C-alpha cells in the first residue's frame, strides 16, 4: 500500500511522467500556519543535491490543494500537489523488454503484469520522494522543540567531505555512479516516544526509510559496531535525572522508546542503478543477454540529495507519537 | 501498538513474570494442519541458543487456545499461549530506582508513569519473542515452497564459527556479554512480493526485526557495502527470463519487491545490557551515580538465540503478501 | 480519519469551496480498462437528483490524475480530481457566529478551534460525496458479476413514487426540505464475503454509509421489522444447495457473511438542514437566540440524489472482500 | 478480521466450545485501577438477561491474564480470558449437513471450506459477545464523566415493559423466540468526538454494533422517523453557548461529530434463529428439504441480554476518540 501512519497518515500518489504527483496528509491539527513557502526550503535541498549530466529540469513547485484556509491548517486532509512539466518520455518500450539491472523495471513489469507505467520508472521513480519531502516539512512543523538534521557522511567509501565532489565528478565522467551514507540526528526529543514491539521508534523509522529508493541498510546508534562489543563497552551509563547518558551507543533509543538523548541513525544508499556505461543484461524480447545503453539523464549520487528525504522519513515517523 | 500486519495480523501480549504470554493471529486460512508439535522445533531452537550462568528455566510449552479444530486451522483467530512457571521475581523495586544502563528500565518507568510491571522487564522482556517465534512457525506453514534459514555469522567481532563458543564463554567468565550478527536467507520466493513505498519488503521486514530487543541495525544484500561501490560494480546483471542475476548485491529485492533471487539480509545484535559486572549509573532515589550490581540470570549472547526470532520476523512479513 | 479500507483503500480530500476535491484509491489491480468516461454515468446520476432553487452549477468533470496508463489501471494509486469552479462564497463569517441548526457548522467550529474552512461547509460538505461516487464507480468495475442498484423508495413519509415530485416541489415552494428512504440491492454475490465480528458485511457497509451526510439509520433485510417477529416467522428456510432461501428476511447476510441471496438494505436520509425558512437559533456573537435566514442555494431533498452515493458505499465495502 | 480500533484496539478470539474465549486490548493507558471485580457487573447483566429452557450454565468468570500490576493497568496489552467449562457438544456434525435457517451454520461451512469449528457456532457464537462486554467495561473506565445506559424498549412489537415477560414466556412455551429493540443513551459527552467521513461517531458505533450477532438495524436520534419529516420539523434549534438544542432529533451528532447533547440510538435485534419448533430446510447430505429439529438450549429473546453488549460497542467506539 502507498499510505503510512495512523496519527499522521500519508497517502502518496503519482507517476514520474504523469500529470502530477502528490500526497494527502490526514491528522494535521488545525491552526498551524502553513503555506507553500514552508515547503520550499526542503524541496530546494532535495533538488540541489542532484548531480548528473542531463538531469531533468523541474521547477518542483508545491501547491497546497486542500486543508488550509487563511494561511492555517484546518484539520481536514492536507493535499500537496506537484505538477510534472518537463517529461520527455524516451523509448521506455525498450526498457520494458530490456530491463535495467538493479532497477525496478523488471519487478514492476512482472508484478503489474505489464500494465505499469514504465515512463521514468512510473510510480517506482525517485521523483516520488518529492511528496515525501513535502510531508516531512509539514511533520517538522508539528515537532515543536525537536530539530532534525541529516547530512551525507560518506561517498564511495570516503568519509572525507572534501573528497566528495571529486569522487562524484570522477564517477560522472566515467558514465558511472557512486553510493554513500547519510547520518541523521534529532535533538530535543522527550523521553517516551515509541511503543514496545511493533511500533518501536526504530520500527517506524526503518519502515519509512526503506520506502526511499536505493536504501540498503539502516543502523541506530553504533549499529553494526555494537555487534563486535561486550556489554560493558556498549552500555551507556545514565548520569542524570533526565536520563542523560555518558556515551550514546544506543542512539537515543532503549526498548524501542526514546530515552531523551540525541537520536542518531545512519542509512546506506546504493549507487544509482541507471548509469551511462554499457551493461550486459537479459533482453526478454530476444531471449538473450545483450548490451544495454541508457541515454540521457542519470543522477550520479543519490546520497547527496538523500539527507532531506531521510529527515522527512524521521519527521513523519515521530509525528505518529506526538 | 502491539499488533502488526493486515493480511496476517498478530497481537502480542503478556509480561515476563505474569501468568502467561501469547499471541493472537488473525488471517490464518482454514484447513492448515496445525498442532503444538508444529511449533516445538522453532521454540526449542530459540531456547537452546541461550548461554548464561543462571538462565531462567522454563518449559516453554505452547498451548493452542483457539483457532484449530480436529488438528486443522478453522479460519478463526488462532491463539497460542505460554504459561510462565519459573518466575522468581527478585528485587525489581530496586531496579525501578536504579535503572540498568542501556536497558528499557528507565524509559518504561517514565513512559508508563511508574505503572509498568518491572518484574523481568515486564512487557519489554526478551521473553516476549517467544510468541513471536510461535507466530513465525505458523507463518512458515503458509509460505509454501519458500524456505527461510537464519544463522549467527559473527560474535564479538569474529566471523569464525569455531571461535564463537570460546568468545561467549570468556565473556561469561568475566560477568560480561557479547554482541553478534545474524544473517537470514529465504529461497523459493516468487517475483513480485512487496509493494512500492510503504509496504516494501524491506519496510515490513525491518519494522518487525526492530521489534526484537537488542537489534541495532539491518542491511539487505550487500547493504552498507553498497555505499562504497560504483553502480557498475553494484548492479546485478539479469541473465535469464526468470530474473536470475549473475550477482545478488540487491539481496533479492528491487524497488521494494522480490525479484526471484534469494533474499538475504543481516541483523546487528548488541550485547545483552544485563551483565554481572558492577556498573556506575544514576540512582533516581539517591540522586547520585552509584554502583549497580545485578545478581542472578543473564544471557551472555542474545545473537546465539536470535536466528529463529529473525526467521519469524521474515516469515510474518512475507505472510502479508501471500 | 478520512481514509477507509484495507484491500481497496480510499483517501478523500478537499473542501466545498477550495480549489479541488478528490480521492486517492490504493489497491486497484492492474490492467482494468478505465477512463473518465467510466465515471461519468454515476456522477451524472448524483447530480441530476438535485432539486432546489439556486443549486450550485458545477460541471463535475472527473480527472484521473494518476494510476492509469494507455487506458488501463497500472496497479499504482489511482487519483481522481474534481476542480471546483462555481464557488461563490457568501457571508460564511456570519454562519460561523450564527450556526445553522442541525448542520455541522457548530461542531466543526468547536472541533477545529475555529480554524475550519466554513465556506460551503468546507470538508463537511455534501460535495465530498462526489469523490466517493467516483471511487464507487471504480469499485463497481472490480465486482465482476455483481450488480448494485439503489433507488429512493420513500419521500416525506410517502412510498408512492408518483407523489415524490409533488412532495418535493411543495417543500421547495415553502422554503423547506424533506427526508426520504433509499433502498439498495445487490445481486450476484457469492457466498462467503464478509468476516465474523468486526469486518462483517453490515459493519463495513454501515461504517461507509454513515459517512454520507444526512444519513440517520440503516437496516438490513427486514431490519427493524424483525424486532417485532418471532423466530418461526423471521427465519429464512434454505431450499437449495446454493443456499437459496424461500424468504429473504436476512437481506442476504447471516453471521456477517453473504449467504448467496440478494443483499438488501435501506437507509434513512434526513431532510436537508439548510432551509430558506427563518429559524430561531443561538448566535454566539450576540449570546442570544436570534432569527437566522439563509439566502441562496439549498437542496430540497437529498434522498433523491443519495441512491448513487449509497451504491458507492456498498461497492467500496464489497471491494474489501474481493 | 477480528480486531477493531486504532487508539483502543481490541482483538477477540475463541470458540463457543473451545478451551477459552477472550480479548486482547491495546491502548489502555497506564495507572487505571482495574481488577476482575470491575468487569463482573456488566458480565452479570449480560448473563441475567438470558431467558430460555435449557440455557447453558457458565460461571463466566473473567481472568485478567496480562496488562495489570498491583491492581492497576501498566500500559501494556490487557488480556481478559474466560474459560469455557460447560461445553456439552451435541451432534454438530448433523448441523453441518442440515444447517439451521437464518443461522451462520451455512455460511461458516462454505466460507471456511468445512474446516470451521461447528460446536455451538464456534467463533460465530453469541458467546463471543462476552469478551466484547469485558472490553466495554474497560472502555467505560476510560470515559470519565460520560455515562452510558442501554435498555430494551420493545419486545415482539410491544413497547410496554410490563408485557415483555409475558411475551417472552409465551414464545418460549411455543418453542419459539422473539425479537426486540434496544435503546442506548450516553450523557456527558463533550463537543467534538468523531471525525468527518470515515470515522464518524455513527460510522464507528454502527461498525461495532453490527458485530453483535442478530442485529439487523441501527438508527441515531429520530432515525427512520426523520425520513418522513420536513427540515423545519427536524432541525434542532441551538439554545445556548454550549450547543444545547431545544429538541434532540439528531441524537447528539451532527456531521459525524458529537454536539454536546445526549447521544441516542436504537438497535433492532432479530429473534434468535435457533428455535425448538420443527423447521423445513435443506439438508445438504440428502439433497432435500427436510424437517430440522433442534434439541436443547436456546435463548428465547436476545434483545433482553443485548443492552450491555450495545453499551460495550458504544464505549469501545468512543474510546477511539478520547
pLDDT band at D187 (very low <50, low <70, confident <90, very high): very high
Question: Whats the size of chain B, residue-wise?
Answer: 322
Give the mean model confidence (pLDDT) for residues A311-316: 98
D76 at the A interface (CB within 8 A)?
yes
Which candidate from B107, B124, B203 shows the least CB-CB separation from A210? B203
A200 pLDDT above the threshold of 80: yes
CB contact under 8 A, B76 and D19: no
Using a CB–CB cutoff of 8 Å, tell me whether B11 touches chain D: yes
> What's the pLDDT at C96?
77
Measured CA to CA, the distance from residue D307 to residue D302 in angstroms comes to 9
Q: What is the mean pLDDT of residues D176-194?
A: 97
User: What's the domain count of chain A?
Assistant: 1
Which residues of chain B make contact with D15, given a CB cutoff of 8 A? Answer: 66-67, 69, 74, 76
What is the DSSP-derived secondary structure letter of residue D128? G
Which cell numbers in the block locate residue C18? 477550495
Q: Does A76 touch chain D (CB under 8 A)?
A: yes
CA distance readout (Å), B283 to A138, A233, A243, A248, B291: 39, 20, 11, 19, 9
Banded model confidence at residue C119, pLDDT cuts 50, 70, 90: confident
Counting DSSP H helices and E strands in chain D, the numbers are: 9, 15
Which residues are D129's β-sheet partners?
none
Rounded Cα–Cα distance for residues B194 and B97 (Å): 45
Q: Provide the pLDDT for residue C211.
A: 95
Report whether pLDDT(B233) > 90.
yes
For residue B26, give how far its alpha carbon lies from the nearest alpha carbon of chain D (Å): 6
Task: Please give the share of chain A, as a percent, with pLDDT higher than 70.
Answer: 95
In this model, does residue D91 exceed pLDDT 80? no
Contacts of B103 in chain A (CB under 8 A): 254-255
Q: Is A285 on the interface with B (CB under 8 A)?
A: no
CB atoms within 10 A of CB C151: 15
Question: In C143-209, which residue ranges form alpha helices assigned H by DSSP?
Answer: 161-173, 201-209
How many Cβ pairs within 8 Å bridge chains A and B?
352
Q: How far apart are CA B64 and CA D19, in angstroms?
A: 9
Mean pLDDT across the stretch D44-56? 73
pLDDT in tens, C205-233: 999 999 999 999 999 999 999 999 999 99
* Mean pLDDT, rounded, of chain C: 93
Longest dimension (CA), chain C: 69
pLDDT digits (tens, 9 = 90+) for D221-241: 999 999 999 999 999 999 999
- Secondary structure (3-state) at C149: strand
- CB spacing of D19 vs B65 below 8 angstroms: yes
Residue C314 pLDDT greater than 90, yes or no: yes
Residues of A in contact with C15 (CB under 8 A): 66-67, 69, 74, 76
Which of C104, C157, C241 is closest, CB to CB, to D228? C157
Q: Which of B225, B259, B282 sits opposite A106 (nearest CB)?
A: B259
pLDDT(D55) > 60: no
Angle between helices D37-48 and D307-318 (to 10 degrees): 140
Q: For the purposes of burial, counting CB atoms within 10 Å of the CB of A38, is it exposed (0-12), middle (13-18) or buried (19 or more)?
A: middle
> How is B108-152 classified by DSSP, letter by letter?
HHHHTTT-S--GGGGGGSGGGHHHHHHHHHHHHHHSTT-EEEEEE
Q: Domain range holding B276?
A: 3-321
Q: Which chains touch D (3 or more CB pairs under 8 A)?
A: A, B, C
Contact yes or no for C112 and A74 at CB 8 A: yes
Q: What does the DSSP 8-state code read for residue D33?
A: B
Which pLDDT value is given to residue C54? 47
Q: Does A279 touch chain B (CB under 8 A)?
A: yes
Q: What is the mean pLDDT of chain A?
A: 93
Q: Report d(CA B66, CA D20) in Å as an integer.
A: 7
> Nearest Cα to A109, choosing from C32, B145, B234, B254?
B254
Q: Which residues contact A199 (CB under 8 A, 6 or more apart)?
A: A256, A320, B1
Binning pLDDT at 50, 70 and 90, where does residue B124 land?
A: confident
CA–CA gap between residue D47 and residue B254 (Å, rounded): 56
| A90 in reach of chain B (CB within 8 A) | no
Please tell me if residue B6 touches chain C, with a CB cutoff of 8 Å: yes
| pLDDT above 80 for C203 | yes
pLDDT, tens digit (0-9, with 9 covering 90-100), for B72-108: 999 999 999 999 987 666 667 777 789 999 999 999 9
Rounded CA Rg of chain D: 21
Cβ of residue D136 closer than 8 Å to a chain B Cβ: no
Q: Give pLDDT tens digits for C31-88.
A: 999 999 999 999 999 988 777 654 567 789 999 999 999 999 999 999 999 999 876 6
The answer to whether the beta carbons of residues A174 and A185 sit under 8 Å apart is: no
Shortest Cα–Cα distance, A70 to chain B (Å) = 32
pTM: 0.96
Based on C-alpha coordinates, what's the Rg of chain A?
21
Nearest to D270 by CA among A318, B113, A227, C232: C232
pLDDT band at residue D124 under the 50/70/90 scheme? confident
- Judge: A76–D6 Cβ closer than 8 Å, yes or no: no
The alpha carbon of residue B63 is apart from the nearest alpha carbon of chain D, in Å, by 10
Q: Is the dihedral of CA C275, C277, C279, C284 positive or negative?
A: positive
We report the CATH number of the domain holding residue B20 as: 3.60.150.10
- The chain B residue lying nearest A244, using CA atoms, is B282
Size of interface B-D (CB pairs under 8 A): 147
Predicted confidence band at A197 (pLDDT cuts at 50, 70, 90)?
Answer: confident
Are A75 and C112 inside 8 Å of each other by CB?
Answer: yes
Q: Which of residues 178-237 of B touch A (CB under 8 A)?
A: 178-181, 191-192, 195-200, 202-204, 206-211, 213, 215-237
pLDDT for A59 beyond 50: yes
Contact flag C76-B6 (C-beta cutoff 8 Å): no
Of C6, C76, C196, the CB nearest to B6: C6
Closest-CA distance, B195 to chain A, in angstroms, reads 6
Q: What is the DSSP string of C43-90?
A: HHHHHHT---SS-------EEEEESEETTEE-SSPEEEEEE-------
Chain D residues with CB under 8 Å of C197 CB are 1-2, 4, 12, 128, 211
Residue A76 and residue D196: Cβ atoms within 8 Å? yes
Report the interhelical angle of B201-209 vs A201-209 (nearest 10°). 170
Q: Model confidence at B54, in pLDDT bands (50, 70, 90)? A: very low
Q: Which three cell numbers stand for residue A235?
A: 552500555
- Of D11, D66, D123, Cβ closest to residue B74: D123
Q: How many CB pairs under 8 A join A and C?
A: 146
D54 pLDDT above the threshold of 60:
no
- Chain D residue numbers with beta carbons less than 8 Å from the beta carbon of B65 are 13-14, 18-20, 22
pLDDT > 80? residue A244: yes
- Beta bridge mates, A292: A279
Higher pLDDT, B55 or D98: D98
Amino acid at each position: 500500500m502507498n499510505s503510512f501512519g495512523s496519527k499522521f497518515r500519508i497517502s502518496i500518489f503519482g507517476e514520474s511522467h504523469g500529470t502530477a504527483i502528490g500526497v494527502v496528509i490526514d491528522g494535521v491539527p488545525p491552526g498551524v500556519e502553513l503555506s507553500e513557502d514552508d515547503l520550499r526550503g526542503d524541496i530546494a535541498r532535495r533538488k540541489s543535491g542532484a548531480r548528473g549530466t542531463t538531469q531533468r529540469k523541474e521547477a518542483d513547485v508545491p501547491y497546497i490543494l486542500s486543508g488550509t484556509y487563511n494561511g492555517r491548517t484546518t484539520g481536514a486532509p492536507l493535499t500537496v500537489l506537484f505538477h510534472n512539466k518537463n517529461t520527455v518520455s524516451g523509448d521506455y518500450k525498450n526498457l520494458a523488454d530490456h530491463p535495467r539491472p538493479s532497477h525496478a523495471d523488471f519487478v514492476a513489469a512482472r508484478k503489474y503484469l505489464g500494465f505499469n507505467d514504465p515512463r521514468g520508472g512510473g510510480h517506482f521513480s525517485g521523483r516520488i520522494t518529492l511528496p515525501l519531502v513535502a510531508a516531512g516539512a509539514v511533520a517538522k512543523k508539528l515537532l515543536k522543540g525537536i530539530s532534525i538534521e541529516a547530512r551525507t557522511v560518506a561517498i564511495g567509501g570516503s568519509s572525507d567531505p572534501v573528497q566528495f565532489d571529486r569522487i562524484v565528478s570522477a564517477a560522472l565522467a566515467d558514465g558511472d555512479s557512486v553510493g554513500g551514507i547519510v547520518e541523521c540526528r534529532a535533538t530535543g526529543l522527550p523521553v517516551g516516544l515509541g511503543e514496545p514491539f511493533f511500533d518501536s521508534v526504530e520500527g517506524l523509522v526503518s519502515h519509512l526509510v526503506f520506502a526511499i529508493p536505493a536504501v540498503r541498510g539502516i543502523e541506530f546508534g553504533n549499529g553494526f559496531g555494537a555487534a563486535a562489543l561486550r556489554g560493558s563497552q556498549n552500555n551507556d551509563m545514565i548520569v542524570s535525572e533526565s536520563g542523560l547518558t555518558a556515551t550514546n551507543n544506543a542512539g537515543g533509543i532503549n526498548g524501542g522508546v526514546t530515552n531523551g538523548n540525541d537520536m542518531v541513525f545512519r542509512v546506506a544508499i546504493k549507487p544509482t542503478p541507471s548509469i551511462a556505461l554499457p551493461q550486459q543484461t537479459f533482453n526478454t524480447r530476444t531471449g538473450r543477454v545483450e548490451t544495454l545503453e541508457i541515454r540521457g539523464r542519470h543522477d550520479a549520487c543519490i546520497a547527496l540529495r538523500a539527507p532531506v528525504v531521510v529527515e522527512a522519513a524521521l519527521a513523519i515517523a515521530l509525528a505518529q507519537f506526538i
